[in-house]
Amino acid sequence: MQHLQREVEALRDQLVYQNELAEASAAKIRQLEYEKEVHTGAFDGRSNELGGQLAEARLELEATRKEMSEWRQRAEAAEARVEELTSSHASLDRTINDERATTMKLLRDYQSKESENTVRNIKFFTYVTYVTYVTYVFTTMIPSAIWSKFRNVTLSSSQRSCASANN
């Protein structure tokens, strides 16, 4: 019986040991389940946070694409406007050059005519001066020279009446 008692005690010790192992395993399982919940919660929180960031990034990407499209349209419109202004500038430049050429031709024609008129005016002034001088000579100098030759000549009464009739 002692032997049975020892066996019972050994079995009891073994049962206590097995019970402690079972409790340790149960505690370990509870600890692992707790850690699993903590890690799962952290993972879910991080996953939700990253999902939110991903959604924000997608919204920002869409907004950036829209903005890029608007800028592209503005750039195309600006390029078209630049081409239009370049064409207009070239047209205006040609018009200005044509007007400048016309103005220069008119200026040369005016200067040529002005030069001709100046020469004509000089010739006219010279002619007028000549005619004035000739008139002066014929009205002043020649009659006084002729008169001085005939000063001592006396006219008869019939010649005087003729001379006065002519005047």
Tell me the per-residue pLDDT of 148-166, one tens digit each, with 9 for 90 and over. 665 555 555 555 555 555 5
Sign of CA dihedral 153, 157, 159, 160: positive
Per the model's pLDDT, the better-predicted residue between 141 and 67 turns out to be 67
Contacts with 163 (C-beta within 8 Å, 6 or more apart), sequence order: 155
| pTM (whole model) above 0.75 | no
Q: What is the largest CA-CA distance in the chain?
A: 219
Q: Tokens 């004035």 belong to which residue?
A: 132
What is the mean predicted confidence (pLDDT) over 109-114? 91
What CA–CA distance (Å, rounded) separates 66 from 154? 126
Q: What share of the chain has pLDDT > 90, as a percent?
A: 55
pLDDT value at position 121?
86
Computed on alpha carbons and rounded to an integer, the radius of gyration of the chain in Å comes to: 67
Contacts with 144 (C-beta within 8 Å, 6 or more apart), sequence order: none
pLDDT digits (tens, 9 = 90+) for 15-35: 899 999 999 999 999 999 999
